[in-house]
Structure 1
């Protein structure tokens, strides 16, 4: 989910269905965070799997990201009204 406040991207990445993340996934999150910050925005993570939380803690990325265990109420309400705000890439296979 992405919202903009006066040109500042406010990103929320829902990782609740993720049970494993490797260095490639962590690098992608770090790049997205850096791009959002460079535009005056933010990137928040929604994580509830203890294994993913452990990786974030071990890599000290839990300090770099705002990590929550559920979506903010306003985000969930906004998403209910939209079928899909952005195109979702389908895996080939």
Structure 2
């Protein structure tokens, strides 16, 4: 069994926001996002805030925008 892609995504986001001052995540290829994906994004947002980094979401598809709206978490992110 290979590595869990959800854990790999979470780790990559956390590494990006703790290593770089400005991070933009492009979601143009995203086809699905569930609560695990939202949790990874929220963890990255918390880590970015703690390290003083900027986290931006780009090309947010309608489904993710809806998830952010329904969970009242859209305001946590800068959406381009």
TM-score, normalized by length of structure 1? 0.60
Q: In the TM superposition, what is the alpha-carbon distance from 1:8 to its structure 2 partner? A: 6.0
Equivalent runs, 1:4-83 vs 2, <5 Å? 9-68=21-80
Equivalenced residue count is: 66
Larger Rg: 1 or 2? 1
More strand by share: 1
TM-score, normalized by length of structure 2? 0.68
More helix by share: 2
CA root-mean-square deviation: 2.5
Structure 1 residue ranges (4+ consecutive) displaced by more than 6 angstroms after TM superposition: none
Structure 1: state its 5+ residue gaps: 69-93
Structure 2: state its 5+ residue gaps: 1-15
